[in-house]
Structure 1
Amino acid sequence: MSRRLLIVGGGQSGLAAARAGAERGWEPVVLEAGDEPVGSWPSYYDSLRLFSPRRFSGFPGYPFPGPPGEYPHRDEVVQFLRGYASWLGTEIRTGARVDTVTREQDRFVAVLADGSTVAGDALIAATGAFANPFTPRLPGREDYAGEVLHVADYRSPARFAGRRVVVVGAGNSAIQVAVELAQVAHTSLAVRDRVRFAQQRLAGRDLHFWLTHTRIDRAPWGILSRLVAGTPVLDTGAYREALASGRPDHRPMFTAFTQDGIVWADGRRERVDAVVFATGYRPHLPYLHPLGAVDEHGMPQHRRGVSTVQAGLGFLGVEFQRSFSSNTLRGVHRDAAHVLTHLGRGAGSLPRVPA
């Protein structure tokens, strides 16, 4: 008799969990809050393209359609996930927002927003982090009269035309959005450290070929993070050239807001119309608080995706949870296989997972 695997979240991580679970004899049930199982992809900014080519962005047995060397657009990823969800043939309940999860004896009970419940023998938390954007606290923010938004709420540069804009961050999204905004607005990139670039193509091949060929992107993140300082921005040279030309200019992070602008690190004040924070996200797991499965900061208590406090609970979609490629299209199925293997078939005790 198969055992039920509850999966909270129907994006790429939840779909990967459903496949890995079915392959190991579970009966997966995906609980997706939205209208379709495509995760947060439709909510990303309009110009977003993957940094990995199609040949490295598909799922096992389900390749990404189109020219293998090209980089898919956001909307193509949405379509890809729609197709994959249909191809899987697993049970997916849309409009099923999970408010809380409790435990009754050896079963997890998900309480949905409409008051109904769904029970299962194991649980995968795969809701990602898009719903929980991180914005650092800075003095004067409450008095600033301009616009402040996170890149999660940014769509296109059109409404910023002719305005003075500062983008905060040094990652891929920050650079891509800042360069795009610089085409229509006076834009600066504010960074705490520096921008670290990595060549998109080496010896005629995309970087992801080398990451895959050398298996670097599968290396445990605890080891790799000691060798790599920060997350590099993948670049063909266009972004370096844009920053070098001053479109956008980049400078040290500002220290405070004023009523109509900001205070730069050198003490100079400047009027600014809008600030866009591209400062990342934090896991969004409020429904797990009744289980004690997250710490006081809302972070999952896990080792390589397997809960260290609740038997039968796993996580997917946590950045760097196992490797550099965790929480990416190309890496999430490896994480799913690892987590489902260690959860076992309704394990009644905490599994031992290598550090």
Structure 2
Amino acid sequence: MTAPGKLRVVVIGAGAAGLCAARHIAACPESFAPPVVFEASDRVGGTWVYTEETGQSPDGLPIHSSMYRDLRTNLPKEVMAFPDFPFDPSLPSFLHHSDVLAYLESYADHFCVREHIRFSRLVDAVSPAEGPEGGWDVTTCRAQDRTVQVTEHFDAVIVCSGHYSDPFIPAIPGLETFPGRLLHSHEYRSPEPFAGRTVVLLGAGPSGVDLTLQLAPVAQRVILSHRQPPLPPLPGNVLQAMPVVAVAGDTVQFGDGAEHRADVLILCTGYRYRFPFLAPARLGLRITAHTVTPLYRHLLPPHHPDLFFVGVCQQVCPFPHFHCQLLFCLAVLRGACRLPSAAERQAAAEGALRQHLAAGGAPRHFHQLGRRQWGYCQELARLGGFEPLPPVVRKLYEATQASRRQDVSSYRSLNYRVLSAEEWALVGADPGGKGAEDGR
């Protein structure tokens, strides 16, 4: 039984966001009952759990992780960490994915989160409860035996199921005619199977660029197709091309009329938002491949202030971003942060989307915060009454972006040290040959 006056909160997913949610719920026993975390797999870590398997796991579930064997972070650990739990300072700034998973496992152990997690538990349905008390009915089943369902009642739901597991496949004329190997970056694991091949990669986001650098040493030729300005120096066998407009057999056609034969097509085209346990229309939501709208402050449906979607935003510093979102959510549930009326929340959410579109933003980029993430997190901290992120997080994040733009091949050889809430220093490796320098 839940103690009177204490809210029972369920968390969906035990990746980074879900662990953070459980840690902070458990830290407020005066307001919340112990959290319940449903996790479909048998371990913590979410997308940071690497497996060589692709497609489906032995239990019939889709492979969740998009990790590849040699992935290293594109942000330094000094800005990746949760504000209350630093990475091991002996590690390099840019980490192998296994180090991030070990960090999340340590975080779960340090804050005694595992005892709240129900592993191998699938969430089948989340729906508003009938009756005057409100809340949510959450139906789950065991991953190994999906015939027996259990429904439990909760006062609030925090969705932390991630959005890097359901590949987005663009509609490209003739794609189905391609006779070679066609895959999404979600299925890529290592470069060796592509040795001696001509590989076309669609998309120059972080995955597209990273796979280009991994494949270039082994492939005969790599063609990176994208719509961005030319990227800084890439290996000699890498050709940058316009966006792919059509495929005819093994010939790939590009936007400027160029054509190239390919053995392999890798779609680095991002992922779809997917919440199969929800009935969006019933919640007043519209969920497309690239948007979840309307969400007040990218977090909650205007008419359901006890349902939160943590981690919908993209182009952010993820773990600190989750931290700010979750402390805001819990401040709302505790009553420490008073929300405007449902009508005002609806107007604010719709207005934010209109403003984005009026500024020339594409609908699919609405949740991509980029530079806006800092003001967003600062506002959450102000409203939620918690400490904002220290300015050094933004400074070092932006310095890393600049370093990556200058030399995408070697920026990960740099190492950083945070000196204070404001200052950082470059230490150790410095390909520019300038030695260590202070960050301003």
The verdict on a shared fold, with TM-score over 0.5 as the criterion, is yes
Contact 1:311 1:351 in 2 (8 A): no
Deviation per CA, 1:66-111: give whole Å up to 9, x if none: 4365211101111111121122223011101112111223121221
Which residue, out of 16, 37, 43, partners 1:36?
A: 43
Correspondence for 2:123: 98
Contact 1:135 1:277 in 2 (8 A): yes
Correspondence for 1:241: 233
Pair 1:341-2:348 in alignment:
no
Correspondence for 1:171: 205
Deviation at 1:247, TM superposition (A): 3.6
Q: Between Structure 1 and Structure 2, which shows a larger proportion of strand residues?
A: 1
Pair 1:58-2:81 in alignment:
yes
Secondary structure, aligned partner of 2:157: strand
Contact 2:75 2:94 in 1 (8 A): yes
Contact 1:16 1:336 in 2 (8 A): yes
Deviation per CA, 1:288-327: give whole Å up to 9, x if none: 226435315264331221222323101111124xxx535x
Q: Compared with structure 1, are the counterparts of its residues 311 and 329 closer, same or farther at alpha carbon in structure 2 (3 Å cutoff)?
A: closer
Correspondence for 1:270: 260
Q: Give the alignment of 1:1-355 within 5 angstroms.
A: 1=3, 2-24=6-28, 25-26=31-32, 27-41=34-48, 42=50, 43=65, 44-67=67-90, 70-90=93-113, 91-105=116-130, 106-113=134-141, 114=146, 115-185=149-219, 186-194=221-229, 240-242=232-234, 245-289=235-279, 291-292=282-283, 294-297=285-288, 299-301=291-293, 302-304=295-297, 305-320=299-314, 325=316, 328-344=318-334, 350=342
C-alpha distance in 2 between matches for 1:247 and 1:268: 17
Correspondence for 1:217: none
- Equivalent residue letter for 2:250: D
Secondary structure, aligned partner of 1:34: coil
Deviation at 1:17, TM superposition (A): 1.5
Contact 2:272 2:288 in 1 (8 A): no
Deviation at 1:352, TM superposition (A): 6.4
- Equivalent residue letter for 2:226: V
C-alpha distance in 1 between matches for 2:229 and 2:332: 39
For structure 1, the residue ranges without an aligned partner over 5 or more in a row are: 197-239
C-alpha distance in 1 between matches for 2:173 and 2:303: 37
- Equivalent residue letter for 2:312: V
Q: Compared with structure 1, are the counterparts of its residues 344 and 195 closer, same or farther at alpha carbon in structure 2 (3 Å cutoff)?
A: farther
Deviation per CA, 1:209-232: give whole Å up to 9, x if none: xxxxxxxxxxxxxxxxxxxxxxxx
Contact 1:127 1:284 in 2 (8 A): no
Contact 2:83 2:320 in 1 (8 A): no
- Equivalent residue letter for 1:308: P
For structure 2, the residue ranges without an aligned partner over 5 or more in a row are: 51-64, 353-440
The range that moved more, 285-294 or 257-266, is 285-294
Correspondence for 1:231: none
C-alpha distance in 2 between matches for 1:293 and 1:48: 38
Contact 2:230 2:240 in 1 (8 A): no
Deviation per CA, 1:130-185: give whole Å up to 9, x if none: 22221211000122212221111111101000111011112122111111111111
Say which structure, 1 or 2, has more relative contact order (CA 8 Å, 6+ apart): 1
Scaled by the length of structure 1, the TM-score of the pair is 0.79
C-alpha distance in 2 between matches for 1:46 and 1:104: 43
- Equivalent residue letter for 2:261: R
- Equivalent residue letter for 2:331: T
Deviation at 1:350, TM superposition (A): 4.7
Give RMSD over aligned pairs.
2.5
Secondary structure, aligned partner of 1:166: strand
- Equivalent residue letter for 2:94: Y
Q: Compared with structure 1, are the counterparts of its residues 159 and 69 closer, same or farther at alpha carbon in structure 2 (3 Å cutoff)?
A: closer
Q: Compared with structure 1, are the counterparts of its residues 169 and 162 closer, same or farther at alpha carbon in structure 2 (3 Å cutoff)?
A: same
Contact 1:10 1:32 in 2 (8 A): yes
C-alpha distance in 2 between matches for 1:167 and 1:286: 29
Q: How many aligned positions are there?
A: 306
Q: Compared with structure 1, are the counterparts of its residues 246 and 273 closer, same or farther at alpha carbon in structure 2 (3 Å cutoff)?
A: same
- Equivalent residue letter for 2:102: Q
Q: Compared with structure 1, are the counterparts of its residues 351 and 16 closer, same or farther at alpha carbon in structure 2 (3 Å cutoff)?
A: farther
C-alpha distance in 2 between matches for 1:155 and 1:253: 24
Scaled by the length of structure 2, the TM-score of the pair is 0.64
